Amino acid sequence: MKLTFRKLFVVIILLWGIIVLPSCQRDPVPQPGYATLKEALEEIGLISLIKENPDEEAMAEKQKGELEYVAQYSMFFNQDLNHDDEGGESFKQRVCILFRGFDRPTVYVTHGYDWYRFNDGMDLANNLNANVVCVEHRNYGESYNADNGVWNYQTVAQASADLHDIYQTLKPVFKGKWMSTGTSKSAETSITYAYYYPYDMNLAAAFCGPFVQGTDDRRFGEYLFNEVGTPEERELMKTAIRHTLEDGEEGMYKDVCAWFVECEDRVPVFTEYVFNVFDTFFQVFQYMTPTTGRSQMLELLATDNEALSSKVSTTLMENRDETYRAYFVECVRQMGWQNDGYDYFSDLLEGTSFDYTKVPASVVAPEDRAQVDLYDGSVYADIVNNFFMTSTCPLLLYYSHDDPWSAGKPNQVGANVKVVVNPIGKHSDVINDPTYCSSAVKQEVMQYVGQFIY
């Protein structure tokens, strides 16, 4: 087809609009040619309050020669509260960077929680000699915004848009390939980000991401009582749980309530108490391994009621910490809630006030209980049922066998998704320590990563 001069002129104008106009939507980012990372960051209008060396532990490791990097910084990124209303209300989102080189790959740690040190993604970054960019999740740590307590914008779509905007801003600075990663809820954040923006990352990795389905996902209780650890360890767990539930609301529950009265804290209802009993043992398998005294801990809890009562009380108090307020809201709104296997002790719970359907409402902060009625699990269902089969972005899903959250691993995945199950290990992304990850599993992970990052 021939073009007249007038048509050619129109085409040129349209192409100019496509190329130029999007770059006007946000502050310009620096082009290559700066001497230091700090110099590059200072040129970005969306970034403020740049601070050197926010992680003293990483600095100490560098001085001992265990970590090689050029510099580390924390800063705040001016972020939209509602990405569907650009130019509206904004907040400061914390971003932390471990810098190795402008041309190096970048491991993008998509925190689902607060940032407190360079931890997630470090083994991957060390193996790749890569930069680390960590983004603190909205309404965690220092990244609070005006929506806190209202939660209209505390969604995976808004959090993914946060990550997308920061990536777009920093990509011209870090020109190498990028991969997102995280552990636990941060792993889910890595995947939901790929779900909404499949062309940002060269690879999305998720370590121990559970992907709960619904608000009564019973896979987790079945896995806890039939798969984790050894049969002997599971029997010790059952013995200890029976001690906590003996005599119902007249047993150990009364001792825990008395402790909360003494601490001048809100006394737990029995349903909240029962959840935290099960969560105590969930966490024992989640974080402890045979080499870190798991069997000894279970034996102590099965034989010492004072230690058991103290451990359950501590779990209950930690779950009430303000740090986890937003987490439990996200569970009841989108992420779902697991059933930890209460049916295994139905004989002890029968006739009590325990109600498994009320567990989420009993655990969220009292002022957030209305959020329970807003649950919408459609995004997570679509990820598990469709995205894991059809993703155009390569995905790595890593699980440890004894971690109870591994009950949430997908049954089917497509050609672009690799699932790795570590027969040892714990709820973490540690792959460089042979205590937690064999050399064969590490090699399997790094070979897959290397396909897309090198």
246 and 174 share one domain: no
Pair 227, 325 in one domain:
yes
Pair (188, 73) in one structural domain: yes
328 and 394 fall within a common domain: no
Domain that holds residue 237: 219-374
Instruction: List, in sequence order, every residue forming a beta bridge with 205; answer none if it has no partner.
Output: 396
* pTM for the full predicted model: 0.91
Q: In this structure, are 205 and 268 located in the same domain?
A: no
- For residue 8, pLDDT over 60 is answered with no
Q: Is residue 91 one of the residues assigned to a domain?
A: yes
Residues making up the chain, counted from first to last: 454
- CB atoms under 10 Å from CB of 9, counted, come to 11
The set of long-range contacts for 260-267, using a CB threshold of 8 Å and a minimum separation of 24, is 260/313, 260/316, 263/317, 265/317, 265/320, 266/320, 266/366
**Of 374, 407, 428, which residue is a domain's last?**
374
Within-domain flag for 240: yes
Q: pLDDT by residue (tens digit) across 116-163? A: 999 999 999 999 999 999 999 999 999 999 999 999 999 999 999 999
Q: How far apart are CA 252 and CA 320, in angstroms?
A: 20
| Joined tokens for residue 427 | 């709820």
User: Residue 32's pLDDT is what?
Assistant: 55
354-411 confidence digits (pLDDT tens): 999 999 999 999 999 999 999 999 999 999 999 999 999 999 999 999 999 999 999 9
Residues 243 and 178 in one domain: no
Split into its structural domains, the chain has a count of 2
Let me know whether 198 and 53 are in one domain: yes
Q: Is residue 4 part of a domain?
A: no
Residue 26 domain-assigned? no
pLDDT at 2: 36
pLDDT at residue 14 greater than cutoff 90: no
Instruction: Please work out, in degrees rounded to the nearest 5, the angle formed at the alpha carbon of residue 187 by the alpha carbons of 288 and 27.
Output: 140
